[in-house]
Amino acid sequence: MLLAASASVLSAPWLGARANAAWVIGQSAPQTGVLAASNAETTAAARLYFSQLNQRGGVHGRPIELLSMDDAQDAKRTAENTQKLLNLGVLGLALYRTTPSSEAALPLARKAGAAYIGTQVGPSLLYDPKLTEVFNTRARYSDEVSRAVNFFKNLGMTRVAALVASDSFGKDVMAGLRSAMAEAKLELLAEASIDNRSADVTQQIEQLRKANPQVVLLISNAKAAASFVNGARALGFRPTFVSLSNTSSASFIQDLGKAAEGVVVTQVMPSPHAGRVRVVSEFREAAAQPPGVPVSHASLQGYVTAKFIHEAIRRAGPGVDRAGLVDAINRANTFDLGDFTLAYPRDSRQGSRLAELTVISRDGRFMY
């Protein structure tokens, strides 16, 4: 369905040529492979927001559309897709999925002067204050691991090991983890490397099991993290497992199955069940309408990012172009999306600093 929708928009010779043409936001993300399910949750929620907005007349009389292309978690394809999207004249780029993808796409976005909005990931490379085209809607991975290390240290759980992706995502998170461990005066007990495009973790389970850690950080894709927990528990290896926000999806809980209870997951979005947060209440009401989306932190991030894009275009005005959108966001600085505020002062690309820990309950919910 996403590819079919993409094909119809790709036939347009210039997306902004007509006064009533859609505002088109480009996305390259995994629609196939081990990240497809979790990416689909986030993307579907963004599409849901835009669809309901468009039914109300869109913004400045024009609909917003998300043009998605599949990169299958391949950074080379991400670069190719991004250049195609930019050549088509998309207003901005949003909701890219992996760290290697951002490494490939960001230079192209900057060269084209296009806003790079709300990636689903939090590598340090996206938080350089000089990147005035970048607008993160979530905290950094380093914020997440720091929160986790301090929490477990306070509980006296100091024997920490890690399953680590061998790509730039893993390297970035490990840099943050080593910094947090050093600050806490702790040393990493052991680490095992994994190809982040795979979910085969048999050898890694045995490697970390021998170290007898109290805590295992799962710095990998959600499929691999779920496979590790299931495989480890089947062998009687039962430390506290901690995964990052990139696994915070309904599909991750489904893959964990009966092993889900007790797994700790760091979060960078408010609880999708927090009814007192206005944007969450709005999201839950929207998610309940057909075709609906899973109520998860991952889908909430897609919804929040879509709402931010809507508000940014609204403030930029009816004649906005790429440069105008970037300028409007930077000038506005602060966006209250409903008890969840994004801020972009001159010295920060952070957007949000929210980083919390949740634990998966017996009935498969993220509990605070």
Cα 28 off chain centre by: 13
Radius of gyration of the chain (CA): 20
User: All domains of the chain, ordered by start, with CATH?
Assistant: 2-139+275-343 (3.40.50.2300), 141-267 (3.40.50.2300)
Question: What pLDDT score was predicted for residue 15?
Answer: 52
Cα 278 off chain centre by: 21
Residues of the chain with pLDDT under 70: 1-19
Question: What pLDDT score was predicted for residue 291?
Answer: 85
Could you tell me if 41 and 249 are in contact, meaning their C-beta atoms sit under 8 angstroms apart?
yes
Q: Classify 158 as helix, strand or coil.
A: coil
What is the identity of the amino acid at 247?
A: T
Question: What pLDDT score was predicted for residue 220?
Answer: 93
pTM for the whole thing? 0.90
Question: What pLDDT score was predicted for residue 12?
Answer: 47
pLDDT tens-digit map of 186-207: 999 999 999 888 778 999 999 9
CA distance 282 to 275: 9
Alpha helices, DSSP H, located in 184-320:
202-209, 222-234, 250-256, 278-287, 297-316
CA distance 81 to 70: 8
CA distance 44 to 47: 5
> For 210, left (φ over 0), alpha (ψ -120 to 50), or beta?
alpha
CA distance 234 to 288: 36
Question: What pLDDT score was predicted for residue 197?
Answer: 80
CA distance 246 to 100: 14
Question: What pLDDT score was predicted for residue 232?
Answer: 97
Q: At what angle do helices 99-112 and 168-183 cross, to 10 degrees?
A: 110
CA distance 364 to 256: 9
| For residue 63, cis peptide bond before it (omega within 30 degrees of 0) | no
Question: What pLDDT score was predicted for residue 14?
Answer: 42
CA distances from 279 to 51, 158, 208, 353 (A): 17, 37, 41, 17
